[in-house]
Amino acid sequence: MGFANDLFQNHHLDCIPAISPGESLFSWCSRYHRIAGIGTPAVTSRRLFGSNTAGFVLDFPGRLGHFGKATANLLGTSVDLIHQHTHYAFYAAFRPPETMAKVQAMMLSNSVERLKFVLGLPSSRAATSHPLKFCKSCANEEKDDHGIARWWLINQWPTTWICPKHKQGLHYVSNPNNQYTVASWPLPDDLGELSSVATSENLPDKTWDQLEQLGRLSELAAKSQIQFRPEILRLAFYAQLQAAGWIHPNGTLRWSDIQNAFLNRHTYLVDYPGFDFIRGIQREDLGILGPMLRGSKRLQHPSKYLLLIDLLFNSFEEFVEHYRQYSSEEDPVLTKFQMQRKNDDSLDKSLVELVIQKDMSLNKAALGLGITLKRVMTWAERHKVPYQKRPHKESPEFTKRLLKLISKGASREEIAESLDVSRRWITAYMARNQKLRANWYKANLNKQIKSRRKELLALLEEHPGADQKTIRNIPGNPFQWLVRNDHQWLKQNYPFFGTRNSQCK
């Protein structure tokens, strides 16, 4: 009780306020510092944590064993504080129990320097430091009612940017680890001039709804007390991808469809702190989507799992229901194989219809079903279906036709159909001819740009005087694609769009 005696004998017992449900520990420390009138923040930190600086950690503070003794557990045990008043619960939903046990031990002890390495955060492009966030309306109401505002955990989750009460964008401090900012034990009303708002008031209603949904998912995941295993998550994701039609009959994923759907829903987040990993998904290698859906054992940042949950499920409850369908599976790999096997049975029926009943060539059947020619040839050999192999001879005439299609910016599908080759062959051919591939990519992009510009002009003609919100709310509109790929043209020809959306500046 020595720590507590020091705290109480200096007449601070009456200054120990209760910690509110959902309030962060950093918030309580800031309130205590202000109420106690100690003066020097380092003294407050030393009194509570036994260290001049340990108290200035926003997300995963250390020395909480000392803190529990210093406060005589009046706020709850140190373990209770870790689970209920720090970022622990948000990450516990997506990390193994043994990992979180190490995290808890580090927070109770004197050192948290390597804590984020244990969580796997430094390798993630998602934010490894968490900005302080608050709702200005909430802060004003609290100050009017209680004379002081708090930092609420529900606002601190990385995927939360909308106040659930006031439905408005949260203010945030872009560099909360700045010593001047954090080491002064600030409260929301102290940081008005230092904060900014990431969410534009001019966002479409649909985007506001999506931001609100993400915040709701974050809170429910943190409160669920469920540890979501990545191998079971993949089964739940796979089943939903199957239901959405984003899986080929042979069980392979329709990557371009998944990529487009993900970007259509989440590209607006790319400029928010902690979401720069979305830029990687815009690349041909699909960024983090590949390892998350292919079966990589590497753990991902919780934000990435939540974005996929938001894409594939209508609600957290629906997600949990699907997750629990597979959570009892002893062998998730076998279960996924069995799910793919159902696709194989369907594939057999489709090939019988196309190749045997409709006398379609193996190549065209493969193109029609979105599978590789080799897969169809294997099926034909297994079922003793005769076929004639066609050697690919890159004759001068063949090359001439190929170059003509490339110069026109034809898609891989169009080239495959015109030349009667597989898309896989085209991909391999271009991989061997990087200059040719670069020319095709440029021509194809130019073709898409012309097409998307034409689509936008047609929409503007149909909706005279339409602003950005109106255009973006039209299903299938090309605006977001043009923002990513042709923003200079938008800025020059439709500058009013640029003033409405920072992505166009």
pLDDT tens-digit readout, 58-106: 899 999 999 999 999 999 999 999 999 999 999 999 999 999 999 999 9
Separation of alpha carbons 175 and 4, rounded Å: 33
**pLDDT higher at 368 or 170:** 170
- 112 to each of 105, 106, 180, 187, 210, how far by Cα in Å? 9, 6, 21, 24, 34
- pLDDT band for 331, please (50, 70, 90 cuts): low
The answer to whether the CB of 286 falls within 8 A of the CB of 292 is no
C-alpha atoms less than 13 angstroms from C-alpha of 120 in its C-beta half-sphere = 13
- Torsions phi, psi for 134 (to 5 deg): -155, 155
pLDDT at 186 over 80: yes
pLDDT of residue 366: 74
Query: For residue 371, what pLDDT band results from cuts at 50, 70 and 90?
Result: low
So what's the pLDDT on residue 6? 52
Can you tell me the distance from the alpha carbon of 502 to that of 504, in angstroms, rounded to the nearest whole number?
5
Residue 337 has pLDDT above 60, yes or no: no
Hunting for tokens 């379609």 — which residue is that? 360
Instruction: Report the candidate in 184, 186, 189 with the shortest Cα–Cα distance to residue 143.
Output: 189
Report the share of the chain in percent with pLDDT over 70. 81
The packing angle between helices 396-407 and 434-462, to 10°, is 40
Q: Which two three-digit tokens encode residue 97?
A: 């129990």
Of 120-124, 288-292, 418-422, minimum mean pLDDT range: 120-124
Average pLDDT of every residue of the chain: 81
What is the signed CA dihedral for 2, 3, 4, 7, rounded to 10 degrees?
120
- Write out the H or E segment, with its range, that includes residue 134: strand 132-134
Q: Identify which of 277, 316, 323, 328 has the alpha carbon closest to the alpha carbon of residue 300.
A: 277
- pLDDT for position 305: 95
pLDDT in tens, 120-175: 887 555 556 688 899 989 999 999 998 999 999 999 999 999 998 888 889 887 65
Please tell me what DSSP assigns to residue 450.
Answer: H
Smallest CA-to-CA distance from 139 within 147, 127, 128 is with 147
Q: Which residues have a Cβ under 8 Å from the Cβ of 192 and sit 6 or more positions away? A: 136, 171
C-alpha–C-alpha distance, residues 271 and 6, integer Å: 47
Locate the domains of the chain by residue range.
Answer: 2-197, 228-329, 334-382, 391-432, 436-505
Indicate yes or no: pTM above 0.95. Answer: no
Say how far apart CA 298 and CA 291 lie, in whole Å. Answer: 8
Cβ(87)–Cβ(130) below 8 Å: yes
Q: Which residues partner with 169 through β-bridges? A: 162
pLDDT digits (tens, 9 = 90+) for 303-314: 999 999 999 998
**Run of H or E including 135:** none
Rounded to whole angstroms, what are the CA distances from 56 to 34, 65, 107, 290?
A: 15, 16, 13, 37
- Predicted pLDDT of residue 394: 64
